[in-house]
Amino acid sequence: MSEPTLDPAQRAAADALDALLDRRGRVRKPGGKRPAGVYLHGRPGRGKTMIMDRFFAATSSKHKARLHFHRFFAELSAAVRITGSMRTAVDMVVGDVDLLCFDEFHVDDIGDGMLIARLLDVLFTRRVLVIVTANQPPAELLPDPIFHEGFEPTIALITERLTVLAVDGPRDYRSGGERATGGFAGGAYRVTGVLPALPPPGRPVRRALRPVPADDGVALTFTAVCGDAGAAADYLSLVATHPRITLTGVPPLRLVPPTWAARLVTFIDVLHDAGAHLTVEATVPPAELAADARPIPGLARMLSRLGELTPVPAS
């Protein structure tokens, strides 16, 4: 397969990553003038993951790991609870690595922020090379004003130790061109035009994630998935046993609380990372899903990922 043509921002990022390897493709240990890694940020579809994967494949080290954000942090949190030690938890989850790549890195929750601060301390102390892709620059991590100030020392650590580069060219490479057909991208987005019945505002929803058999895997309603206090760990358990899922009754997000929309972002993240086959049945197309909804972290990323699904218009 021929090397893809890189735009200027992608080329600058690729060159910065290539400089972290020696002639044999081995990782140059951070230290001295060498950074502890690279932080690539930009809007969805700008090629950040492609650049990181290109680098990961070129690295000859056998002690490397490429991680999906939600699964890694669910496993890391569990290991920290069991052992009481971040160092031991890192050993349990990733072992003795010299390269760690995080795709779609984000910090929207103060609990994750505290965990990340401790994790980075361990990784930088061990001189592990850290590569990150993210939609936000470091200064915009954990945007909640209540908690952001407390996370600023970690932001300062990231900007001090990692080379921060924008990969944010004008072209969205996920839109147009040849559509992928496997994994998550093999799913469909069906516009029903029907507004589902939603609970009255303020009424708590308490129901287990109990999927029902469907023609193609299992089905769950939007209210069941997003209306309860669901979290990434719940969605990871779900997709581990049900790799083909239909999500029904997705309304325009302006009609539901921001917490519901945030859980939808997490749900889509988990299924995308797992390569699950997803069919969405929604009232409106992706371009209209977030219209007039309150902004929440990760919304643009989710809409970009939903755009990978094959559109099925209302009949």
Task: State the pLDDT at residue 177.
Answer: 54
148-173: average pLDDT? 92
* Residue 254: predicted pLDDT: 95
pLDDT attached to residue 175: 62
Query: Does the model's pTM come out above 0.85?
Result: no
**pLDDT value, residue 180:** 58
Mean pLDDT across the stretch 261-273?
Answer: 93
Structure tokens at 233: 């760990």
**Between residues 3 and 194, which one has the greater pLDDT?**
194
Structure confidence at residue 92 (pLDDT):
93
Please say if the pLDDT value at position 2 is more than 60: no
**291-304 pLDDT tens trace:** 999 988 889 889 98
Burial of 122 (0-12, 13-18, 19+ CB in 10 A): middle
The pLDDT value recorded for residue 315 is 64
Give me the pLDDT at residue 208, please. Answer: 62
Residue 204, pLDDT > 60, answer no
* pLDDT confidence tier of residue 138, bands split at 50, 70 and 90: very high
Give residue 82's pLDDT: 94
pLDDT, average across residues 106-134: 92
What's the confidence (pLDDT) of residue 1? 41
Average of pLDDT values for 240-246? 92
